[in-house]
Amino acid sequence: MSLPILYIKPGCPWCDEVVDYLKRKNITVKTVIVSGNPAAMKEMVDLSGQTKAPTMDWQGEVLADFGVDELIPFLKAKGL
């Protein structure tokens, strides 16, 4: 099973909150920084249809432009 992918931008307060929350909950993700990385940005845009971070790809299920409040029910649906 591959790790969920979390696309982030450094300095983004929502990204920082999500990363901190995932660490506190011991949820491992592959983090991809899209700032300054055109290939990663294109991957995120192709996946989600937008340029806002954070964006998460959890085995094909996408959560885009979210904060911790939106992440909690998403994770609960995954049994976490």
Q: What CATH number does the domain containing 45 carry?
A: 3.40.30.10
Please answer whether residues 76 and 26 qualify as being in contact, where contact means their C-beta atoms are separated by less than 8 angstroms. no
Write down the residue that tokens 């937008």 correspond to: 50
Structural domain containing residue 35: 5-77
The pLDDT tens digits for 6-44 are: 999 999 999 999 999 999 999 999 999 999 999 999 999
Give the count of domains, the chain. Answer: 1
- The reported pLDDT for the residue numbered 66 is 97
Q: What is the 3-state secondary structure (H, E, C) of 54-76?
A: CEEEECCEEEECCCHHHHHHHHH
Chain mean pLDDT for the chain:
96
Q: DSSP string spanning 28-44?
A: --EEEE-TT-HHHHHHH
Residue 79 pLDDT greater than 80, yes or no = yes
The dihedral built from the CA positions of residue 9, 10, 16 and 18, taken in this order, carries a sign that is positive
State the DSSP H helix or E strand holding residue 77, giving kind and residue range, or none if neither. Answer: helix 68-77
pTM, rounded to two decimals: 0.95
